Structure 1
Amino acid sequence: MRTRARNFVAALVAGLLATPLAACGGNDRVGADGFTIGLLLPNRSAPRWEHFDRPLIEKRLRDLCPRCDLEYANADNDATRQQQQMASMITKGVRVLVLDAADTRALRSSIQQARAAGVPVIAYDRLAEGPISGYVSFDGAQVGKLQAEALLKAMGDRANDGNVVMMNGDPTSANASWFRKGALSVLTGKVNIRRSYDTQGWSMDNAHANMSAAIAALGPGRIDGVLAANDTMAAGVIAALKSAQVRRLPPVTGQDADLDAVRRIIKGEQLMTVYKPFPVEAAAAAAMAVALGRGESLRDIATTTIDSPTTNNIPTVLLTPRAVTAANIRQTLVKDRVYTIEQICTSQLRPACAKAGLDVHGATE
């Protein structure tokens, strides 16, 4: 991949959220130009897709184009099903598709079919192969770097030749290799990566099985850190460590700021997660979809370009992720209203929450 950054990223991101209709004309134009947008998400195993991305995209589309309709489908980690869903939406006459591919290579032929039918496709969160018209995501290399930096810091002296297990994402996702490369740019030469696993479907069960294999091979007391690519897999890793009766859990990373993961961070079971401000990503995707549906250029929306294995100079919005630990949950997730303190701090967690500066009784958020 190659990116060419422009100089107005910050202004664009602010504008996407602050000016609902600025990029898409006035109300008269919106009312006269309703059409259908298709949204295809990859799975339900990661809570973010149904809990955050879908409702945020739906809301933003309503803001930008009140007379537009949304056709929605979830692939449940089945690329063939997603291909069928895309074909059905094209047949029904959607004008533009927002696609988070269950398999970024397998969907290439479907994206080509969409292009042949005159339906532009926006790759959402994962860069699919084929003639993509736009792409919105977070900097995957930076995600991996944030995870690896936090892991090294938590390992302390054990970071010098300590034993690390890498629990990578699904090999069919371009993001998985992006995250891994970012992490390796930090970890290589500083720790011993004793085991590295690809995790089909980003699945908790598969991560549990892989971690159990690593424990059997290395011994329960000889794992100094685990770089888990997302929170769902972190849950499987931690469950496997507990099943092996590991009394002192090694630091375990995550991604996506799932509520259960935030609670594990408060409890001290998970080291950190990577927070990707979903409203900004959803806003950019919705703005691209409405613009393309009206036959407009993405020049005023895209902040950079990216090359995929098949397509060059894809107009892109590439956003910045943030690391979240127990020390900054209030300043990140609570401040951005992702969760309230009351949602995070169950009755059992209140002592730990108070220690982390999340006092339920004093909460005003």
Structure 2
Amino acid sequence: MKAFLRNAAVVVAAASTTVAAVSCGAGTGSTSGRGNAPKIGLLLPDATTARWETRDRPLLEKRVKELCADCTIEYANAKNDVATQQEQMDSLITKQVDAIVLVAVDARALGATVKKADAAGIPVIAYDRLAEGPISGYVSFDGKEIGRLQGRALLTAMGHKAHGGRIVMMNGDPSDPNAVSFKQGALSVLQGEVKIAKSYDTLQWRSETANTNMSAAISSLGAGNIDGVYAANDGLAGGSISALKANKVHPLPPVTGQDAELAAVQRIVVGDQYMTVYKPFWPEASAGAAMAVAAARGDSLGRIATDKVRTRDGTTVPAVMLTPVSVTASRIKSTLVKDGVYTIQQICTPQLRAACARAGLT
């Protein structure tokens, strides 16, 4: 947690320094090269993962406005459709926006459109997912560490079954570089400890696909022969848990997750899901907004992005890499509630009061 706080402080301080430098150099009437006020595109991948619309979008828009009062934001959501997001990128290029914040539906498929934006002189900031093509910057969390946190938590929850037990892996979309990192990190912990009885890659991170795959795994392995479930995010965890319940698997095996969705936190409280990975939204949004504003104004990203990442084509780009946090029932209050992500009242609906009391959420 201390590492995360240090990273967060660096991001906020860097963003403030950059804005101060821009203000001193250009004055309040500064303009972009394309119009009277900088225009920033914001492209999100889907509306099924709760965080994009409920957390990232409002925080990004708020921070952009704080850093650049005259900036305008061109927003669109691809609704999990690659062709739609490609069209949205083309539209932003036609509108000659000054920078684009992109959460790619499919990192590889969007590579050509990122190249078109670069050719048009429009910097692209890859947000949360490392897009392919000539991006100008990247902000996210250490994907392999997320997988390691999930793997370690699963082994802890499995207890004596952690040595030789059978697990099902519900991985994310293989076209998402983050999903590949999560899987690699998890395998570095799990391989040699447990038997991976079934492993599935989930196109477009669809929870309904996870539900179908978990039902197939139960049919193949038997309801009593699954000792743990590695689910790469909370959506896949929810789909897997629904299938386990529908097939009358009891007790439920421990299930991992990621993104700290409210529904997942409530599942953790009642014991249906063991853990989630909390990726603090504000530091990520703050860094993404600061990078977008700097890029839109033609400023260096160096003061904000003190890390580096290597893209698929071998290019090194400026990055902000933040520290993820593992959250089990005993840590909800000291992380998510303390940070203001959710209130106890939001988590503890009337039907969850008894479970919340057991979890110390009072």
Aligned to 1:285: 288
Structure 1 letter corresponding to 2:98: R
Contact 2:150 2:256 in 1 (8 A): yes
Match of 1:287, SS? helix
Contact 1:21 1:63 in 2 (8 A): no
1:315-354, Cα deviation, whole Å (9 max, x unpaired): 0001000001110101000000000000000000011111
Aligned to 1:153, which of 156, 163, 167? 156
Structure 2: how far apart are the matches of 1:127 and 1:250? 32
Structure 2 letter corresponding to 1:298: L
Contact 2:12 2:286 in 1 (8 A): no
1:66-121, Cα deviation, whole Å (9 max, x unpaired): 00000001111111110000000111120100101000000011011001100010
Aligned to 1:55: 58
Matched, 1:119 2:117: no
After TM superposition, the structure 1 = structure 2 runs for residues 329-348 of structure 1, keeping only pairs within 5 Å, are 329-348=332-351
Match of 2:169, SS? strand
Matched, 1:194 2:197: yes
TM-score with structure 1 setting the length: 0.93
Contact 2:11 2:304 in 1 (8 A): no
* Residue 200 (structure 1) shift: 1.2
Matched, 1:45 2:43: no
* Residue 16 (structure 1) shift: 5.1
Matched, 1:175 2:173: no
After TM superposition, the structure 1 = structure 2 runs for residues 302-313 of structure 1, keeping only pairs within 5 Å, are 302-313=305-316
* Residue 171 (structure 1) shift: 1.4
Structure 2 letter corresponding to 1:294: R
Match of 2:27, SS? helix
Structure 2: how far apart are the matches of 1:63 and 1:311? 34
* Residue 31 (structure 1) shift: 3.9
Structure 1: how far apart are the matches of 2:10 and 2:21? 10
Matched, 1:136 2:142: no
Matched, 1:260 2:258: no
Structure 2: how far apart are the matches of 1:297 and 1:172? 30
Of 280-289 and 301-310, more deviation after overlay is shown by: 301-310
Ranges in structure 1 where 5+ consecutive residues have no aligned partner: 1-7, 360-365
Structure 1 letter corresponding to 2:100: L
Aligned to 1:29: 27
Structure 1 letter corresponding to 2:125: I
Change (3 A) 1:10 1:340: closer
Structure 2: how far apart are the matches of 1:16 and 1:342? 34
Aligned to 1:363: none
Aligned to 1:236: 239
Matched, 1:272 2:275: yes
Change (3 A) 1:30 1:339: farther
Aligned to 1:248, which of 227, 247, 251? 251
Contact 2:14 2:303 in 1 (8 A): no
Contact 2:267 2:273 in 1 (8 A): yes
Of 270-279 and 20-29, more deviation after overlay is shown by: 20-29
Matched, 1:83 2:86: yes
Change (3 A) 1:246 1:298: same
* Residue 32 (structure 1) shift: 2.8
Q: What is the RMSD computed on CA atoms of the aligned residues?
A: 1.6
Structure 2: how far apart are the matches of 1:27 and 1:303? 22
Change (3 A) 1:153 1:24: farther
* Residue 180 (structure 1) shift: 0.1
TM-score with structure 2 setting the length: 0.94
Aligned to 2:357: 354
Of 153-162 and 306-315, more deviation after overlay is shown by: 306-315
* Residue 24 (structure 1) shift: 4.0
Contact 2:234 2:258 in 1 (8 A): yes
* Residue 127 (structure 1) shift: 0.5
Contact 1:100 1:125 in 2 (8 A): yes
Structure 2: how far apart are the matches of 1:29 and 1:317? 27
Ranges in structure 2 where 5+ consecutive residues have no aligned partner: 1-5, 32-36
Contact 1:130 1:311 in 2 (8 A): no
Structure 1: how far apart are the matches of 2:314 and 2:46? 25
Contact 2:277 2:326 in 1 (8 A): yes
**Number of aligned residue pairs:** 352
